Amino acid sequence: MSKTIIVSNRLPVKISKSDDDYILSPSEGGLATGLGSIYKQGDNVWIGWPGVEITDQQDKDQVTHQLKELSLIPVFLDQEEINQYYEGFSNEVLWPVFHYYASTYANYKQSNWDYYKAVNQKFRDIILSIAEPGDVIWVHDYQLLLVPGLVRQELPDVSIGFFLHIPFPSHEMFRLIPWRSELLEGILGADLIGFHTFDDVRHFLGSATRILPVASSSNIITMDERSIVIESFPMGIDEQKYATLPLQPEVQEQVELIRNNFKGNKLILSIDRLDYSKGILQRLQAFELMLQLCPECIEKIALYMIVVPSRDTVPQYAHLRDEIDKKVGNINSIYRTMDWTPIHYYYRSFPIEMLSALFYTADVCLITPMRDGMNLVSKEYVASRINNDGVLIMSEMAGASKELIDAIIVNPNNTGEVCRAILQAINMPLEEQHRRMIPMRQLVAKFNISHWVKIFMDRLKEVKLMQRSMQAR
Ligand code: GDG
């Protein structure tokens, strides 16, 4: 019996230690939910890093055993591997270059690349320890770009899918990376390569055909007599979860509290991980401009801004956090009154019930990344608007803007445009809110996470059949 092996940097689980015991709590993230329908069945498994450093062999054995019960297989990484493969190469080369921040943030250090290769090989070894020729392997994201190629060398006929969750940059950006050929060869080990948008597909094809001696026709690349299909698969969310959460009593309790706190105020919501690509400072500038230009907005509008801690041991992220603290403090100190604070800023994460209450209550959701592969928060806001009201302001640089076309779409670099969009949103008649929200809700409901998983897996099967029929000719 063949099996499916999911591979990602992180396992869909949180591990904490209490006394001598490890406590495993399954992650509620969208990817974990969507892929749950796969990895929990039969002999299928998910391979990844458990998210904590475990050095003692006995502890490793114990955690491996506990994870096995959940169909999960760990790749243990030590601190140096985390520092160089994850923080050094993945987050200081690939993340900035793929989000068009090469000149500001990329750090092309040879030893980080060496660690990236070594850790990708470590993932390969664990895959090979369980994979058999008829299996299907689905590799995720930028931390594991070499894995498809490394596995292909050992198992030439196995089915391999690869999905990139972040944007693929234009050739002019991608070519800056010293190890560009090796990275492309790694990705091209897959049979099916998926991206969120058609632009990412186009950019990948552009880089692959300019950098490597490969032929392409339409969205198919031929390498070593293997046809590799490159396509877009816009990722969806667990729509049902977000559409039903607001009906739960504990969510309604939070809704009441929020409404009492913000009585008479229009509430604008902003939620991101701490990241320069999310455009948080630029968004604050637009909000400040709106306060300058619209005196009647004072005491009438509040921005509820959640920034979820992320990578804050990386110096650039720590610096960004300081800049956001300063900017928020500055705006609040200028505009605050006895009864009103313009920005309610939280640097922490919240339980899903609180997020749901905020999605349900916020009159406007303001999402203005400088660059984003998809952006799931925007889809979660839409799914939570079960009364069909509310306004989404969306950056044209996020993959989601290609689908959520009834949002107010803005260029996040254009402070004036974002400021006007906020004013348009808070003054939008209810009838127009409905007209825009209903089609977006339908889209998010239809193209949900299960649909995404299904179409990717179905397509991978088709690609394999196509390859086999071409070989037979
Ligand atoms: C990458 C790509 C692509 C946020 N705050 C809290 C919380 N969240 C959840 C959101 C959402 C997720 O985190 C963030 O997903 P995004 O898609 O918005 O952004 P990235 O983390 O950068 O994800 C992105 C994605 O991969 C998928 O392919 O869309 O472009 O960058 O689900 O709800 N969850 C909880 N508390 C919080 O405070 N529980």
| Residue 306 in contact with ligand 1 by CB distance below 6 A | yes
Catalytic annotation present for 165? yes
DSSP-assigned letter for residue 294: -
Say whether 155 sits in a helix, a strand or coil. Answer: coil
Q: Element (H or E) spanning 221, and its range?
A: strand 220-223
Question: pLDDT (tens digit, 9 = 90+) per residue, 412-443?
Answer: 999 999 999 999 999 999 999 999 999 999 99
How far is the first Cα of the chain from the last one, in angstroms, to the nearest whole number? 27
Of 59, 165, 312, 451, which one is the catalytic site residue?
165
Query: Side chain identity at 412, as an amino acid letter?
Result: P
Please provide the size of the chain in residues. Answer: 473
Structure token digits, residue 332: 């609040």
Strand 220-223 and strand 226-232: the pairing is: antiparallel
Question: pLDDT (tens digit, 9 = 90+) per residue, 239-261?
Answer: 999 999 999 999 999 999 999 99
The contacts found for 89-93 with CB under 8 angstroms, 24 or more apart, are 89/113, 89/115, 89/116, 90/9, 90/116, 90/142, 90/143, 91/311, 91/314, 92/314, 93/177
Greatest Cα-to-Cα distance within the chain, rounded to the nearest angstrom: 79
Catalytic annotation present for 191? no
d(CA 355, CA 349): 9
Structure token digits, residue 144: 């594991």
CA of 253 to the centre of ligand 1 (A): 24
Say whether 432 sits in a helix, a strand or coil. Answer: helix
Q: How many CA atoms are closer than 13 Å to the CA of 221, on its beta-carbon side? A: 27
| Residue 32 in contact with ligand 1 by CB distance below 6 A | no
| Residue 375 in contact with ligand 1 by CB distance below 6 A | yes
Question: pLDDT (tens digit, 9 = 90+) per residue, 151-168?
Answer: 999 999 999 999 999 999
CA of 254 to the centre of ligand 1 (A): 21
* Alpha-helical runs (H) found in 337-448: 352-361, 376-384, 415-426, 430-446
Which residues partner with 266 through β-bridges? Answer: 301
Structure token digits, residue 135: 């299996």
Rounded to two decimals, the ipTM of the complex is 0.98
CA of 12 to the centre of ligand 1 (A): 14
Confidence of residue 314 (pLDDT cuts 50, 70, 90): confident
Contact 407, 394 (CB under 8 A): yes
d(CA 67, CA 262): 44
Strand 220-223 and strand 215-217: the pairing is: antiparallel
d(CA 40, CA 34): 11
pLDDT of residue 395: 98
pLDDT of residue 143: 97
Lowest mean pLDDT among 218-227, 397-406, 427-436: 218-227
User: Candidates 376, 403, 456: which one to mutate for ligand 1, based on the most atoms within 8 Å of Cβ?
Assistant: 376
Closest by Cα among 5, 323, 380, 352 to 160: 5
- Ligand 1 atom at shortest distance from the alpha carbon of 377: 18
d(CA 35, CA 459): 16
- Ligand 1 atom at shortest distance from the alpha carbon of 196: 28
